[in-house]
Structure 1
């Protein structure tokens, strides 16, 4: 990392896996994703590291009311995430609550924040982190990102796409998106 006068910084990568999985399944694929269609979470850690040239702390929040999905937890641990399995009363949005509390705690810490979610429940807490002392980004699916994040881009929020920017998938998803003309390839449609 180039010396820019700052001490070594950390990127807190907050992953709302439940939201990403639901968007992928219900809105993009129209069915439960197959293993090869799910994000490569290791690529997301690499993306965060490369994007801001600093080490990420990957916190992967998941609801685990009934039982702990040990194979998934072990996979997360092996690639460098800190799984945050949560439980609560029926109807509690435990992942949302935990991510909101984490963002509130981060207000008192140095470090940059990448939120991986499309969920508008996080707009207020993410906005509070935008204090011009840190970089803040939201990573998700552009066409399903809550519109509340848009105005924050004017204040410096980076709006990043999980597939196109982070390249977290091994195969193209069947998404309909606005294509910048410089990226248009007619062969993609023929």
Structure 2
């Protein structure tokens, strides 16, 4: 679904950050396969939301064997897996470099992470006139540094994107207009 001017959105996914937040902060254990995000829904959501083509870059740290079945699934969904090895936070370094490289391109950018390590790069991207920038994740875990960047749209991975097949056990602040007491009885 390309827009009339064929503008492109780059979707930068910090899979480790989302997996760690889901496992440690929401579920309190390693997620089962059926509790992980449906990544194809995320691509479709951003494409519909911003009405333009999306190029999904999924960053992975690979320390041992290649996660071949997961990588094949990502490719089948239309993602470009970027598998990294090395010292330090290789995924963070690669996403930072990618965001810096995107600053000189006429493209929109959505980051899938809660990590404050990307605040500087996302702030630079958000200041570019005419560029849409977004963050996708779990609102309650978004770093305050990312939250403070003006002009960035936020999309909740569960509530907006509907990337999960079952409701997650999340605690959240509810707008009174959305409050239904039956949800708690």
Alignment TM-score, normalising by the size of structure 1: 0.93
Counterpart for residue 128 of structure 1: 124
Counterpart for residue 59 of structure 2: 61
Counterpart for residue 45 of structure 1: 43
Among candidates 113, 132, 137, match of residue 117 of structure 1: 113
Counterpart for residue 183 of structure 1: 178
| Alpha-carbon contact 2:18-2:137 (below 8 Å) kept | yes
Q: How does 1:6-85 map to 2 (within 5 A)?
A: 7-85=5-83
Count matched residues: 183
Counterpart for residue 166 of structure 1: 161
Partner deviation per Cα, 1:87-130 (whole Å, 9 max, x = no partner): 002xx100000000000000111110000000000000000111
Q: CA deviation at 1:27?
A: 0.3
Partner deviation per Cα, 1:72-96 (whole Å, 9 max, x = no partner): 000000111000000002xx10000
Distance 2:84 2:3 in 1: 38
Structure 2 gap segments, 5+ residues each: none
Q: CA deviation at 1:133?
A: 2.3
Q: CA deviation at 1:2?
A: 6.6
Structure 1 gap segments, 5+ residues each: none
Q: Report runs of 4+ in structure 1 exceeding 2 Å deviation.
A: none
Question: Does residue 138 of structure 1 match 2:135?
Answer: yes
Counterpart for residue 86 of structure 2: 88
Counterpart for residue 98 of structure 1: 94
- Taking a change above 3 Å as real, the CA distance of residues 2 and 10 of structure 1, as seen in their structure-2 partners, is closer
Q: CA deviation at 1:34?
A: 0.7
| 1:172 partner SS | coil
Distance 2:112 2:106 in 1: 19
| 1:168 partner SS | coil
| 1:68 partner SS | coil
